[in-house]
Amino acid sequence: MADPEPNPQINFDNTEIAFANKSNKELKKTSRLFKLMSNNLLTKLLSSVGLVAVKYNLPFARYAVKQTIYEQFCGGETLLDCQSAIDKLYENNALTILDYGAEGKSTPEEHDEVKDQIIQSVKLAAANNSVPVVVCKLSGMADNGLLERLQESDERTTSDQKDYDKLYERLDEICSIGNELGVGIFIDAEESWMQITIDKLAIEMMSKYNREKVIVYNTYQLYRHDKLAQMKKDYEISQKEGYLFGVKFVRGAYMEKERNRAEEMNYESPIQKDKASTDKDYDEAIKFCVENYKTIGSCCATHNEKSSLYQAELIAQLGIDRTHPHLNFSQLYGMSDQITFNLAAAGYNVGKYVVYGPVKEVIPYLIRRAQENTSVTGEMGRELKFIQTEMKRRKL
């Protein structure tokens, strides 16, 4: 690759770069899928009926999901299957962040199985220059009720203490292997009623493993009105205690659920009063992390073009090396290729979250993607607009 320009002009409207890795046939197929998902009623129907059909192993349902929405948003059923997605991203200068997509596990055996899967992906990452980080969702490695109870009270029953120790051991094993092999671990953020437990564990792991290099990253959701202040406070503590701070910042995925629960249970919602407040805190988090990049390893995880551009321009303005390992961007596989590949072409560190796992296991993830891309207003979605622009450019 030629040396990137010192101050590149980034243009997210460049669909030629965004879809360079898609053949005409693939582009047409993607367009059909996004058109299908933009139908609100159809998405609702497929989300409910489709889920049940796949759950009960109806062979056609599995095949239909696999050939369409699964192929668009997932890397494959196994780590081995993901290799071609990883290679294709790397050909276009984008890295891969591996994410085992199984959710809602309830038995200790299932939690161990999730941990084993994550460890396998850490090992694959260590052998692959194109995979610097692996994702870890604590709700996949512990009972969600436990995470909630631990947050509600400092008093623990013997059985809860035993389960907490198991969770700690699972997470510690992952982070310790990540540290040994030089692979980063992103700890995802979840619902507020479990997040205090997750934050505590993430910070403990950071303090243990981020002594020389940023290995562990906690996630901060800026749709919460308290999170910018908490991020800054946690950073201060890391500096006092002498470890590097690792942070992935997102807007947050559970807004409706958070608001509904707060209303039902009659407590103040943790969510910002409006979108503008979320955006303001998000961009403030970018500024804080970029300005302190020597001691903070960060990832700007968003599909928002303005925020992505803001971070890119800030790095350029401050004259910081845009390939510095502490400055990263990320989008989900199958979405916002115009951000990923235009940033990658300009020489920034960009990774795609590549979710993998058996079709049946990743259904909740796929439903969230379908709902995100559906049109409630009848307007054409952002992804479909870009695909159609590229199809026009190619005269398809």
Ligand X SMILES: Cc1cc2nc3c(=O)[nH]c(=O)nc-3n(C[C@H](O)[C@H](O)[C@H](O)COP(=O)(O)OP(=O)(O)OC[C@H]3O[C@@H](n4cnc5c(N)ncnc54)[C@H](O)[C@@H]3O)c2cc1C
150 binds ligand X (CB under 6 A): no
In this structure, what are the phi and psi dihedrals at residue 271, rounded to the nearest 5 degrees? -85, 145
Rg of the chain in Å (alpha carbons): 21
Q: Residue 234 Cβ, how far from ligand X at the closest point, in Å? A: 16
Q: Residue 304 Cβ, how far from ligand X at the closest point, in Å? A: 4
Distance CA 316, CA 326 (A): 14
Q: Residue 6 Cβ, how far from ligand X at the closest point, in Å? A: 28
373 binds ligand X (CB under 6 A): no
Residue among 128, 192, 197, 219 that touches ligand X (CB under 6 A): 219
Q: Residue 338 Cβ, how far from ligand X at the closest point, in Å? A: 13
253 binds ligand X (CB under 6 A): yes
Using CA atoms of 106, 108, 113, 114 in order, give the dihedral in degrees to the nearest 10: 50
Helix (H, G, I), strand (E, B) or coil at 95: strand
Residue among 227, 303, 322, 326 that touches ligand X (CB under 6 A): 303
311 binds ligand X (CB under 6 A): no
223 binds ligand X (CB under 6 A): yes
Nearer to ligand X by C-beta: 250 or 363?
250
Q: Residue 196 Cβ, how far from ligand X at the closest point, in Å? A: 15
Window 181 to 210, contacts with ligand X (CB under 6 A): 188-189
96 sits in which H/E element: strand 95-100
Candidates 76-84, 126-134, 297-305, 313-321: pick the segment binding ligand X (CB under 6 A): 297-305
Nearer to ligand X by C-beta: 61 or 101?
101
Helix (H, G, I), strand (E, B) or coil at 369: helix
What single string gives the DSSP state of each residue in 115-160?
HHHHHHHHHHHHT-TT--EEEE-GGGSS-HHHHHHHHH-S---HHH
Q: Residue 252 Cβ, how far from ligand X at the closest point, in Å? A: 4
Residue among 14, 238, 331, 373 that touches ligand X (CB under 6 A): 331
Candidates 60-68, 205-213, 233-241, 250-258: pick the segment binding ligand X (CB under 6 A): 250-258
> Contact at 8 Å (CB) between 96 and 351?
yes
Distance CA 195, CA 38 (A): 32
> Contact at 8 Å (CB) between 206 and 247?
no
How far is CA 235 from each of CA 175, 218, 230, 242, 280, rounded to the nearest angstrom? 19, 11, 8, 10, 19
> Contact at 8 Å (CB) between 394 and 24?
yes
245 binds ligand X (CB under 6 A): no
Burial of 155 (0-12, 13-18, 19+ CB in 10 A): exposed
Residue among 30, 96, 139, 278 that touches ligand X (CB under 6 A): 278
Nearer to ligand X by C-beta: 14 or 302?
302
Nearer to ligand X by C-beta: 54 or 350?
350
Nearer to ligand X by C-beta: 61 or 195?
195
Distance CA 218, CA 226 (A): 15
Size of the site for ligand X (CB under 6 A): 24
Using CA atoms of 253, 332, 60, 44 in order, give the dihedral in degrees to the nearest 10: 30
Interacting residues with ligand X (CB under 6 A): 188-189, 219, 221, 223, 250-255, 271-272, 274-275, 278, 301-304, 330-332, 353
